[in-house]
Amino acid sequence: MATIHQNLSEFDTGNLPDASALSFGIVVAEWNTNITENLYKGAYQTLVDSGVQAEKIIKWEVPGAFELTFGCKKIIETHQPDAVIAIGSVIRGETSHFDFVCQGVTQGITQLNLLYATPVIFCVLTDDHLQQSLDRSGGKHGNKGVEAAVAAIKMAVLGK
């Protein structure tokens, strides 16, 4: 989704399905923690504001974005949530490492969505520089974590 003129935090809880009986896993990468924690806070608060009980939201941390796939797989197998949100931030550097990490995480999350009946929501920022990440994790473009939580609710209901 292009976000140049959109605030990602704009949504109407009245247009969301009832989420009060649902449970969610949120797997958060520790790399670029200033970004990922803001995304987590946006996702968590959106779930709570949408009627999800706090005790039905499980947070796990993994070292980096590349480890998100394994963390999501294990949280599905261990807790069987209705949906999982994978939160990470990869910022382009001077090498092609960025491309390999982004491609691996994207393919891994896609595979999880095909292998499991539990939807895994992609909330991994893949930005060219820190300011873009800040703008999308609570800055001028809102919080991508909010958008991921809305998608998680919708997909959890679809999966039921």
Tokens of 22: 């649902």
Q: 76 and 84 in contact (C-beta within 8 Å)?
A: yes
Q: 89 and 148 in contact (C-beta within 8 Å)?
A: no
Q: Catalytic site residues?
A: 97
Give whole-number Cα distances, 160 to 32, 60, 76, 126, in Å.
34, 24, 15, 30
